[in-house]
Structure 1
Amino acid sequence: MKDLIKWLGALFWKVQILWFCVHGGIAIITFFETYYLKKVIDIYFSNQTIPENYNGFLKYILVIVLLLCVNFLNVLLAKHVGKKVYADLSQRLTYQFLNLKWYDVYSCNAADTVKLLNNDVNRLMPILFGFFPVLAINILAIIFYCVYLFFKSMLITVLLLIAFVILFFVSYIFDKILKKDSNAQREAHVHKESFIINMYNNFKYIFANQRLKNTLDDFNEVNEVLNETSIQIAYHSQISSFLYTTVSTITILLSFIILFFLKQKDTAITAGLVVQISTLISQALKYFYSCLHAKNQLSMASASIDRINNLYAKEHSGAVPENLPQSAEIIWEDSRESINFEYNKINIIRSANGKGKTTLLNSLCGLEHTYIPEIKLNGTLSAAAPKKLCYITNTTCLRNGTVLENITENSGKLNIDVSTILQLVGIDAETKVENFGENLSAGQKQIVHILKLLNSNADAFIMDEPDSALSNEARLWLYEIMQSLVKNNNKTFVLVSHSANIMDNFDSDNVHMLIF
């Protein structure tokens, strides 16, 4: 029922309000031509020697100008509408990717994801591309014209117009009921630019060595497909708008020329009917062409999902060590330099700006393609350490919903006590996250982002200055919970910091310091 209401709201108000104004204007001009327009023209030209058919000529000029103005606006809106459609589709695709749970090879199910994506596209495409709204409005306009042409009854025509207006405002009320959901969809395109960053910076656990690199290649390919699709659909929308403008203008001009010389009555009515039919045809062509193009792009994105699924299917057969080793050595082939990290410890990396700390972390996670390290476990070259790795940066991106829903997004349940820190930063579990976190302060967003990842079941956490936006109180809480996770849950941390006194916040038994 909710989807039906949403469909009705989008049908007449959100997507096609401009069409209503256009056809309503044309209908009003046509309905009252015999009472007002002709009377005005007769009075104005009463002392002029102008043929009677010029009355129709002026009406045609008025209708043509109206159509051209409206379609000019339609062309301006086409690019925005096209990008919005695929931004929404891109966000859906992003969230479906995230639901694959990259950190857990046993729960990856690309087939279900592709099925859901296809269902979403099949359901959304007719509405978002505006075919059904145009279809409904044009059919109503054609009914108006036909009623007037065949019955010559202003009463019936006006009653139909009143019914149309009532339906229009009812749909407006439905749309207001769902205003919150509509706002969320309108904001979706803002986050299209950060499609890839959101994936590896904010949501998912990543495997060591080359697996992430292969995954990112596929994600980049999908993102390029979606970006290209956004451009193409905007272009196709503009082409279809120009097509409609051209067809409508040529049709009405030809109708005028023919009817002008044949001296037929009701010329504006007939021309309006022809315009409505031509509009219907051009919009139908636009709809089917857009759907065909979108399905083709979606199949390309689905192919990338399949490749990712195959990648993880291969990893599924690999042996997973039951117990983590005590240390890991990271070696770069070009220099043979190495850095040692210890498990079940807080490994703190401290150095001055520009020394390559972030590059080091990116290399550990496979995000830096220039420096690809080898990993040795207890001195033996291996590709399986650690099994579950989480990369926490100081970049945040939250989903609309409550704070609790964001924190439990990856794990499905609350595994750590968050009440103290949430109270400390001035929010609670039921605080709403709106516009992807824009209603929260930088520190509040950072805390929710960190809590979401610390609440997960990762074995190790790589943290690139995660406390940059935190207050002193929140920073101390973070250090305390890190030590608790090391002691009680055997977690491992690699933490980058600029602070020279950071060691003062930790027990020496829990810390392994690296300075370069």
Structure 2
Amino acid sequence: MTVMRFDNVSKVFYTADSETVAVDDLSFEVHKGEFVAIIGPSGCGKTTILSLVCGLMSPTEGKITLSGDKKVGYMLQRDQLFEWRTIQSNIRLGLEVQHVDSKVNRDYADDLLKRYGLWEFRNRYPRQLSGGMRQRVALIRTLATDPDLLLLDEPFSALDFQTRLDVCDDVYDIIKKENKTALLVTHDISEAISMADRIIVLTKRPAHVLTVHETHLGDIDTPLKRRESPSFAKQFEVLHRYLNGGNAV
């Protein structure tokens, strides 16, 4: 089942005396239960694509189709937790904003806290948590509204390398256990290979799809273990060549 589809989508930004084509004739799709990553040169329009998916922007040309209830969750580069709210209160923020703060939904949010090891920290404040724990809270907050599609905009970029590896494992585990569909934007080739089922490689701006790479690592259950796969280094080499203007061999 296709959860999201781009058909010949272009986005142009206009000023009084110029125009900038961010993405051009972009077509791809994401299927239910998939973890798809998008990589490409800096400034090629990766975050613009996420903004188009969630409706913060409208395409200049083309069509974007979302199936189901069209519920999209967006996890940003920074956790954006409110420092004056407890962890439990931060988790419930999306429910309040969407006016669905019912007992059933609050109980679901609390259950997520319990299942993923954050319940004992529910009455603490963000400043009392490590960077990795704050990112886990941000993910739970995003999942609390039960989105059909989860957008991840470089959510690990602010973490140190070791914490990043640990949190990638945690986030991947939670997304798979909750049977969510995810679309990740990242600059990190290794991160994309270790987490995604498919990787969409974009050209420099204006972005279009250069290639779609299948990782074939779905039988390995954590991103960290995927990095140990014999094929990991070869896949990295192939994708690195694409991003640097060469052809894969």
TM-score, length of structure 1 as denominator length: 0.30
Between the aligned partners of 1:513 and 1:406, the Cα distance in structure 2 is: 32
1:457-498 per-residue CA deviation (whole Å, 9 max, x = no partner) reads 112111111112234454334433444345443210000111
Q: Larger strand proportion, structure 1 or 2? A: 2
* 1:52-451 mapped onto 2 (5 Å cutoff): 325-326=1-2, 328-334=4-10, 335-369=24-58, 371=60, 373-376=62-65, 384-385=67-68, 387-395=70-78, 396-398=80-82, 400-409=84-93, 410=95, 411-413=105-107, 414-417=110-113, 428-433=121-126, 445-451=134-140
Letter in 2 for 1:514: I
How far apart, in 1, do the equivalents of 2:92 and 2:147 lie?
A: 14
Is the partner of 2:41 in helix, strand or coil? Answer: coil
Alignment of 1:501 onto 2:168: no
- Amino acid corresponding to residue 139 of structure 2 in structure 1: I
Distance 1:397 1:431, change over 3 A: closer
SS in 2 for 1:470: coil
Distance 2:170 2:135 in 1: 15
Q: Deviations over 1:155-211 (max 9, x none)?
A: xxxxxxxxxxxxxxxxxxxxxxxxxxxxxxxxxxxxxxxxxxxxxxxxxxxxxxxxx
Query: What letter matches 1:416 in structure 2?
Result: L
Contact 2:7–2:26 (CA<8 Å) still a contact in 1?
A: yes
What's the CA shift for 1:404? Answer: 2.3
Whose helix fraction is larger, Structure 1's or Structure 2's?
A: 1
C-alpha separation in 2, matches of 1:503 and 1:474: 17
Distance 1:333 1:350, change over 3 A: closer
CA contact (8 A) 2:132 2:167 kept: no
Paired positions, count: 176
Indicate if the aligned counterparts of 1:419 and 1:428 stay in contact, CA closer than 8 A: no
1:70-115 alpha-carbon deviations (Å, 9 max, x no partner):
xxxxxxxxxxxxxxxxxxxxxxxxxxxxxxxxxxxxxxxxxxxxxx
Tell me, in whole angstroms, the C-alpha distance in 2 between the residues paired with 1:469 and 1:497: 12
Which residue identity does 1:401 align to in structure 2?
Answer: R
- 1:457 is the counterpart of 2:140: no
CA distance in 2, matches of 1:487, 1:420: 13
Q: Deviations over 1:320-363 (max 9, x none)?
A: xxxxx245420245554312222211111111211110111111
Q: What's the C-alpha RMSD, in Å, of the aligned pairs?
A: 3.3
Q: For residues 3 and 115 of structure 2, what CA distance do their matches in structure 1 show? A: 34
SS in 2 for 1:404: helix
**Cα distance change, pair 370–489 in 1 and its aligned pair in 2 (3 A):** closer
Output the CA distance in 2 between the equivalents of 1:466 and 1:363: 18
The answer on 1:513 being equivalent to 2:217 is no
> Which of 131, 152, 173 in structure 2 is aligned with 1:484?
173
Larger radius of gyration: 1
Contact kept? 1:330, 1:374, Cα under 8 Å: yes
Contact 2:152 2:185 in 1 (8 A): yes
For 2:180, the aligned partner's letter is K
**1:503 positional shift:** 4.3
Matched AA of 1:360: I
Give the conservation status (yes or no) of the 8 Å contact 1:392–1:463: yes
How much identity, in percent, do the aligned residues show?
23
Return the structure number with greater relative CO, CA threshold 8 A, min gap 6. 2
Contact 1:391/1:462 (CA < 8 Å) preserved in 2? yes
Contact 2:153 2:184 in 1 (8 A): yes
CA-CA distance at 1:400 after TM superposition: 2.3
Aligned-partner SS, 2:63? strand
Residues 341 and 366 of structure 1, relative CA distance in 2, 3 Å threshold: same
- The 3 A distance-change label for structure 1 pair 449 and 374 is same
Change (3 A) 1:485 1:401: closer
Kindly state the Cα deviation for residue 444 of structure 1 after the two structures are TM-superposed: 5.2
Gaps in structure 1 of 5+ consecutive residues: 1-324, 377-382
Q: Which runs of 5+ in 2 are unaligned?
A: 11-23, 96-104, 203-249
